[in-house]
């Protein structure tokens, strides 16, 4: 049975065929169901959009309609709420990952910070050489 090449130049990426098959098989599972972007989009942002602009036909009608004060108010409210919510979510994630410092964090976060410092130390050594 002949080998079917997915990529035209396998010497450029020796695992190219395997990566392509793995992505085709499992990429949809990640991107469609478990990716945080999908979860936030479908469980947080889409309901807000439906609450402000209505369901899909109402949104299409709103997008086709001429600009009025009502349309502008709805669009500004939606995007303002999205921006505020994104700011809160992003800062919450950063606060969890960065923490307040060694004197205010528990041992699990110290281990995480030690790992991050270890990675930084390795990259500093690599850049110095």
43-66 pLDDT per residue, tens: 899 999 999 999 999 999 999 999
Separation of alpha carbons 69 and 31, rounded Å: 37
Q: Are residues 94 and 52 in the same domain?
A: yes
Q: Are residues 57 and 91 in the same domain?
A: yes
Neighbours of 53 (CB within 10 A): 19
Predicted pLDDT at 10: 59
Separation of alpha carbons 122 and 52, rounded Å: 49
72-81 pLDDT per residue, tens: 999 999 999 9
Residue 116 belongs to a domain: yes
- Report residue 26 as tokens: 């499992």
**How many domains are there within the chain?**
3
Q: Which residues form the domain of 103?
A: 99-129
Separation of alpha carbons 102 and 113, rounded Å: 9
Contact status, residue 40 vs residue 89, Cβ threshold 8 Å: yes
């Amino acid at each position: 049975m002949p080998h079917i090449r997915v990529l035209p130049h396998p010497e450029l990426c020796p695992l190219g065929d395997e990566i392509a098959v793995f992505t085709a098989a499992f990429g949809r599972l990640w991107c469609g169901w478990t990716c945080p972007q999908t979860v936030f989009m479908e469980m947080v942002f889409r309901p807000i959009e439906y609450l402000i602009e209505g369901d899909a036909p109402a949104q299409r009608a709103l997008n086709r309609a001429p600009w009025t004060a009502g349309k502008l108010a709805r669009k500004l409210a939606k995007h303002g709420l999205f921006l505020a919510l994104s700011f809160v979510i992003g800062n919450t994630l950063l606060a969890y990952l960065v923490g307040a410092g060694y004197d205010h964090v528990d041992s699990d976060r110290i281990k995480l910070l030690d790992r991050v410092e270890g990675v930084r130390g390795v990259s500093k050594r690599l850049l110095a050489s």
